[in-house]
């Protein structure tokens, strides 16, 4: 069952519909409700490898759905610490819980100041309303 539309206040958002949860010098990344809804049912997640660098605004993997294949755009720079194996094994987890069990990767932040360039939940909702 798909999740209800939501954009949690504690997250930061990228205009490419990815989110970041900052946890000290690390961040958990995933795609927003809007992104998973636009893609439809996810059938494959192609993650980066453990230790791989990711760059802000760069591609860090692919999400394949019944509709399309979409590049995942990183909201922040860092090195991959962990890939969510649950999503690799069951990509539809992202549709069911995009901000909880459906997170994609955990990174060690290369430049924590980059988070200042991301949108808060209210700004992201306003951005979506303009689309």
Q: What is the pLDDT of residues 35-94, one digit of tens each?
A: 999 999 999 999 999 999 999 999 999 999 999 999 999 999 999 999 999 999 999 999
> How many C-beta atoms lie closer than 10 Å to residue 30's C-beta?
25
The CA-atom distances, in angstroms, between 45 and each of 24, 67, 128, 129 are 26, 14, 24, 28
Amino acid 13: pLDDT: 98
**Facing residues of 107 across strands?**
27, 80
Q: Is 9 exposed, middle or buried (0-12, 13-18, 19+ CB in 10 A)?
A: exposed
Determine contact, residues 94/19, Cβ cutoff 8 Å.
no
Helix (H, G, I), strand (E, B) or coil at 8: coil
Amino acid 131: pLDDT: 85
Amino acid 7: pLDDT: 97
CA distance 68 to 37: 12
Q: Which domains does the chain show, CATH number per domain?
A: 12-130 (2.40.50.100)
Confidence of residue 3 (pLDDT cuts 50, 70, 90): confident
What are the pLDDT digits (tens) for 95-131?
Answer: 999 999 999 999 999 999 999 999 999 999 999 999 8
Task: Give the predicted TM-score (pTM) of the model.
Answer: 0.95
Q: Is the pLDDT of residue 1 over 70?
A: no
Q: Is the pLDDT of residue 10 over 90?
A: yes
């Amino acid at each position: 069952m798909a999740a209800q539309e939501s954009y949690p206040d504690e997250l930061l958002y990228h205009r490419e519909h990815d989110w970041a949860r900052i946890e000290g010098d690390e961040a958990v990344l995933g795609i927003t409700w809007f992104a998973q809804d636009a893609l439809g049912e996810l059938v494959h997640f192609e993650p980066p490898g453990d230790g791989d660098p990711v760059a802000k605004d760069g591609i860090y993997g692919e999400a394949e759905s019944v509709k399309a294949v979409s590049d995942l755009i990183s909201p922040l720079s860092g090195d991959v610490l962990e890939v969510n194996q649950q999503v690799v094994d069951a990509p539809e987890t992202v549709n069911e819980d995009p901000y909880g069990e459906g997170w994609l990767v955990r990174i060690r932040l290369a430049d924590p100041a980059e988070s200042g360039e991301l949108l808060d939940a209210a700004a992201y909702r306003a951005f979506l309303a303009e689309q």
